[in-house]
Chain A
Amino acid sequence: MTHEHRARRFGVEALTRVEGEGGLIIEVHDGELADVKLRIFEPPRFFEAFLRGRAHTEPPDITARICGICPVAYQMSACQAIESALGVEIDPALRDLRHLLYCGEWIESHVLHIHLLHAPDFLGYPSGIAMAVDHRDEVQRGLQLKKIGNRIVEVIGGRAVHPVNIRIGGFYRVPSAAEMADLATELNRALNASLEVARWVAGFAFPDHTLPDGTALVALRHPTEYPMLGNRLVSTDGLDITPEQFLDHFDEEHVEHSTALHGRRLAGGDYMLGPLARFALNHDHLAPQAAAVAAEVGLGPSERNPFRSILVRAIETVHACETALSIALTYRPPERSFVPSEARASVGCGWTEAPRGLLFHRYEIDDAGVIGDARIVPPTSQNQPVIEHDLMHLIEHSLHLDDAALEALCEQAVRNYDPCISCATHFLDMRVHRT
């Protein structure tokens, strides 16, 4: 081996097209991969500390500010946890509105990721904006679809980023039948566009790769629905638990190279959250057109190629459009906009499926409704270890590539997870050191 090869060293200062800031360091010694670390250098933010001493009514507004991309996920998990603590059962009609709101966030977040963050990798462009020069119609179609996702969040949530209409027990105001009828008209268009997007994405060339053996896929499961609003947490290796049991099975550890904590299973072994996991564990609950297009594009429940997660996002977008349309079409304004509740000393856990995967919240509340302790476990911190191990596995088989090609492949592979560093607090500059 030449000295030049042994000392091969390369990197990317800041990973782009991800939410938040961090980096990737890859160590190669004598042509053998030694280590992969995701460095997260997003400044630490102290939300769990800020929540201590605040009113139990505030987490939907405060935790939304953890992430501008998926504030609805934070609001929904916070509401579930606090309502569980207070023993509040929300009305089915209000739950439908939450489900619709969540569909809006999935559409907005998935379509942003597909078109502006990830498709450029598959089509060979540095950005979605550069891609639009040659693929203007596809980018415009994506932007219009994303807009309808945001429109849902505006109509139900009051604002696209950091919705203002969410409260414990429901909403401040419920939409009128006329507003919902307008939304349904737009959703008919959205559904058609989403089907076109899924077929477009299915035509991409996907690098051949599979998750390391033994990686468990973990996602929520609901008796009848594809899971946005949660119920039980299940895995491909037999886990089946309630929110109250989550911390008996999962933990986070602090590693030196990251201001985001690393999620881990107490039983050991890697686990992966997000679209691939949800699809593997819940494909039987996809809406009819989403299920049909998944079959048409050859996506099966045993899919373990992370590069095809963009295709699952496209299928989930179809599902979200279909689900939203069906809720909008059967909408009758509920009699009350929220279920009232009273503070009591209690502990509550809640979880929902953020676009990137499981988002867990836990609150301890006193008799006056003041929060004594808060715990938030976001999806990207849980996915960090599997991202590192998946990349190791990928790089081991790709060391023959030159530096630029390997860097590009690694960045594309990180984006398979649509990591949200702001959520995880906190992540991507990428460096490969070859010594």
Chain B
Amino acid sequence: MTRPTVAVWKFASCDGCQLTILDCEDELLAIADALDLRMFLEAGPDELLDHYDLSLVEGSVTTAHDAERIRDIRARSGMLITIGACATAGGIQALRNGADIDEFTSIVYARPDWIETLATSTPIADHVQVDHELRGCPIAKSELLATITALLARRRPPITTHSVCVECKQAGHTCLLVADGTTCLGPVTHAGCGALCPGIHRGCFGCFGPSESANLAGFLRAIATVGADEALAVRSMSTFNVAAPVFRDAKEQA
């Protein structure tokens, strides 16, 4: 089998998800043997090809230039996978959506007229077709490796549909929400992290975004029933995945 050609692209982001590739210390050289990494600026490769078998896209679209660039990348890509909350949901940068972007610019920059930015931070799927997505702020190394392995074996990548609650039960943690009344987004948050936060007695704050069929109304009722902090729950949903479906409705429904 010929090695698939691979590109890693960056849009508005912190680099943390592409760093997760380099954080696969035990697997990195094997990955580099199995995949033909042609474009991955942070690691060095910078060959612009007409076609890549696989593109991994990090970051959200926040400039007019980037909105053009993702269309060009889509046209060059066989399979396109978004990695992380910015690429799949607009990320923390979507806190600008609905705010006064001129005011934001003036808070940070002395000469707003030199700054080119869109008023919104949008996920890649708002612009082009996405074939698969990895959730998380940042993505989980295990999910990244499982996806690459599946693609190399020509299997469909594993798709998670359950919530952090399931992972929490699997890990044998006591339920923070029920037992302690701790505000925890586990019931409505997409699995993948391995219930990291409940494992350290911290309520989930939703960095993997909403789970499939998350029941927001039911969750808010449960929060009220156990006497947890609804404002904190809403604020958590309005952070790293603020523009994701379900989470974006939290403010209005609360």
Looking at the assembled complex, report how far the CB atom of B99 sits from the nearest CB atom of chain A, in whole angstroms.
8
Q: Verify if A434 is at the interface (C-beta below 8 Å from B).
A: no
Chain A, interface size category, equals 35 or more
Stretch at the interface among A39-47, A219-227, A323-331: A39-47
Across the interface, do B15 and A67 meet the contact criterion of CB distance under 8 Å? Answer: yes
Closest to A151 in B: B25
Across the interface, do A256 and B114 meet the contact criterion of CB distance under 8 Å? Answer: yes
Looking at the assembled complex, report how far the CB atom of A41 sits from the nearest CB atom of chain B, in whole angstroms.
8
Q: Verify if A139 is at the interface (C-beta below 8 Å from B).
A: yes
Across the interface, do A116 and B43 meet the contact criterion of CB distance under 8 Å? Answer: yes
**Distance between Cα atoms of A178 and B174 in the complex (Å):** 22
Q: Which residues of B contact A65 (CB under 8 A)?
A: 14, 16, 91-92, 137, 240
Contact among A54, A143, A422 for B15, CB-based, below 8 A: A422
If the complex has contacts A44-B105, A44-B109, A68-B14, are A161 and B19 also in contact, measured as CB distance less than 8 A?
yes
Stretch at the interface among A17-25, A98-106, A269-277, A288-296: A17-25
Chain B, interface size category, equals 35 or more
If the complex has contacts A21-B41, A254-B110, are A161 and B12 also in contact, measured as CB distance less than 8 A?
no
Within 8 A of B (CB), among A119-155: 120, 126-130, 132, 136, 139-140, 143-144, 146-147, 150
Q: Which residues of A contact B117 (CB under 8 A)?
A: 43-44
Looking at the assembled complex, report how far the CB atom of A328 sits from the nearest CB atom of chain B, in whole angstroms.
19
Q: Verify if A66 is at the interface (C-beta below 8 Å from B).
A: yes
Across the interface, do A14 and B41 meet the contact criterion of CB distance under 8 Å? Answer: yes
Contact among A46, A117, A173 for B96, CB-based, below 8 A: A46
Q: Verify if B217 is at the interface (C-beta below 8 Å from A).
A: no
Within 8 A of A (CB), among B123-178: 137-138
Contact among B42, B108, B235 for A55, CB-based, below 8 A: B235
Looking at the assembled complex, report how far the CB atom of B44 sits from the nearest CB atom of chain A, in whole angstroms.
3
Q: Verify if A204 is at the interface (C-beta below 8 Å from B).
A: no
Stretch at the interface among B49-57, B184-192, B196-204, B220-228: B196-204
Within 8 A of B (CB), among A20-78: 20-21, 42-50, 52, 54-55, 58, 61-62, 65-69, 71
**Distance between Cα atoms of A144 and B62 in the complex (Å):** 36
**Distance between Cα atoms of A44 and B112 in the complex (Å):** 11
Q: Verify if B75 is at the interface (C-beta below 8 Å from A).
A: no
Across the interface, do A160 and B23 meet the contact criterion of CB distance under 8 Å? Answer: yes
If the complex has contacts A44-B108, A48-B107, A256-B114, are A112 and B22 also in contact, measured as CB distance less than 8 A?
yes
Across the interface, do A19 and B63 meet the contact criterion of CB distance under 8 Å? Answer: no
Q: Verify if A164 is at the interface (C-beta below 8 Å from B).
A: yes
**Distance between Cα atoms of A127 and B240 in the complex (Å):** 32
Q: Verify if B183 is at the interface (C-beta below 8 Å from A).
A: no
Looking at the assembled complex, report how far the CB atom of B186 sits from the nearest CB atom of chain A, in whole angstroms.
13
Residues 5-46 of chain B, each 1 if its beta carbon lies under 8 Å from chain A, else 0: 000001111111111101101101100100001000111111
Q: Which residues of A contact B108 (CB under 8 A)?
A: 44, 46-49
Contact among B15, B62, B199 for A69, CB-based, below 8 A: B15
Contact among B25, B110, B138, B201 for A68, CB-based, below 8 A: B138
**Distance between Cα atoms of A213 and B45 in the complex (Å):** 36
Q: Verify if A240 is at the interface (C-beta below 8 Å from B).
A: no
Q: Please, could you name 10 A-B residue pairs with CB atoms under 8 Å apart, sorted by A? A: A17-B42, A43-B12, A43-B117, A61-B239, A65-B16, A68-B17, A71-B16, A126-B44, A129-B45, A144-B25
Residues of A within 8 A of B (CB): 13-21, 42-50, 52, 54-55, 58, 61-62, 65-69, 71, 112, 116-117, 120, 126-130, 132, 136, 139-140, 143-144, 146-147, 150, 158-162, 164-165, 167, 171-173, 253-254, 256, 259, 261, 422
Residues of B within 8 A of A (CB): 10-20, 22-23, 25-26, 28-29, 32, 37, 41-46, 62-63, 66, 91-93, 95-96, 99, 103-105, 107-111, 114-115, 117, 137-138, 193, 196-197, 199-202, 205, 207, 235, 239-240
Known: A68-B13, A253-B110. 11 other contacts (CB 8 A): A13-B46, A15-B41, A19-B15, A46-B104, A58-B235, A68-B19, A140-B29, A159-B193, A159-B196, A160-B23, A161-B16
Closest CB pairs A-B (n = 4): A68-B16, A127-B44, A147-B25, A254-B110
